[in-house]
């Protein structure tokens, strides 16, 4: 694990946000957010870019959020996690 707050697996990431966790990550110099925003409602976005925000009906669906030519699910264990609540 490169960073103390990193996720080793996509399942660890999904578990975290499904319990109400919020994460901030840095990938290729850009900052992103993912987390729960209501009952059965999650979001992911590039920070400071409202147009990039997408809402999802499950934590698993957040994994499909596009980051460049990949998805958040594909980069979550490679990205630098700058904030993570819940272990």
What single string gives the DSSP state of each residue in 63-87? TT-EETTEEHHHHTTTSEEEEE---
Give, as one character, the DSSP assignment of residue 19. Answer: T
pTM, full prediction: 0.90
Domain ranges of the chain: 10-84
Residue showing tokens 């630098």: 80
pLDDT in tens, 3-59: 468 899 999 999 999 999 999 999 999 999 999 999 999 999 999 999 999 999 999
Pair of tokens at residue 62: 């957040």
């Amino acid at each position: 694990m490169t960073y103390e707050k990193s996720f080793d697996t996509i399942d660890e990431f999904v578990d975290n946000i499904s319990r109400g966790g919020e994460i901030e990550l840095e990938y290729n110099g850009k900052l992103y957010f993912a987390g729960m925003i209501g009952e059965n409602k999650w979001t992911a976005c590039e920070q400071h870019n409202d147009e990039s925000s997408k809402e999802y009906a499950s934590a698993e669906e957040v994994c499909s959020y596009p980051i460049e030519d990949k998805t958040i699910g594909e980069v979550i264990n490679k990205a630098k996690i700058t904030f993570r609540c819940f272990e």
